[in-house]
Amino acid sequence: MSDLRFAQAVDGAALRDWRHVHNVTIPTHHLSLDDVRDRAGRHHLEVAHLGDVLVGSSTVRPPEDGDGTRTATVIARVLADHRGRGIGGELYARGLFKAWELGAEQIATVVLAANDSGLRFARNNGFVETERYVLPGETVPWIDMKLAP
């Protein structure tokens, strides 16, 4: 996909684009621009465009020590009209590379339980469920997953 391009979301339009993808794909957990700015200070955020069209985003939460391993969380999101074209795979591969670059020993992801295509993508890429939970004030469960060894 030669006209697929990526940009780190650190300010301006890129942060607004990242927020748009998040809020459209996670309708139960809308973020403000201030929320996104805060995340950009802690995580590696990217947006993906196909030509001039916004198609997806990714998040890499840097590794944290947990269960004796340094676990990074990689999340790839693709807008519904652009799924099934390999964009999620590209976002995921870039996120994995960044996670390993940051010193990850284990990879995790998190998927909204209502996101059937996201769960299918995670399972097809070797992730297994580790926990389900509902955030305060929400009704749809989140699913934590880890990349199987």
pLDDT tens readout for residues 58-107: 999 999 876 678 999 999 999 999 999 999 999 999 999 999 999 999 99
Instruction: State residue 2's pLDDT score.
Output: 74
Domain ranges of the chain: 4-147
Mean pLDDT rounded to a whole number for the chain: 93
CATH number of 4-147: 3.40.50.460, 3.40.630.30, 3.40.50.2000, 3.20.20.140? Answer: 3.40.630.30
First vs last Cα of the chain: how many Å apart? 30
Burial class (CB in 10 A: 0-12, 13-18, 19+), 2: exposed
Rounded average pLDDT over 106-135: 94
Q: Which two tokens stand for residue 124?
A: 């097809």
> What is the 8-class DSSP label of residue 88?
H
User: Strand pairing of 106-112 and 142-147?
Assistant: antiparallel
**CA dihedral sign, ordered 110, 123, 104, 91:** negative
Residues 27 and 64 sit within 8 Å (Cβ to Cβ): no
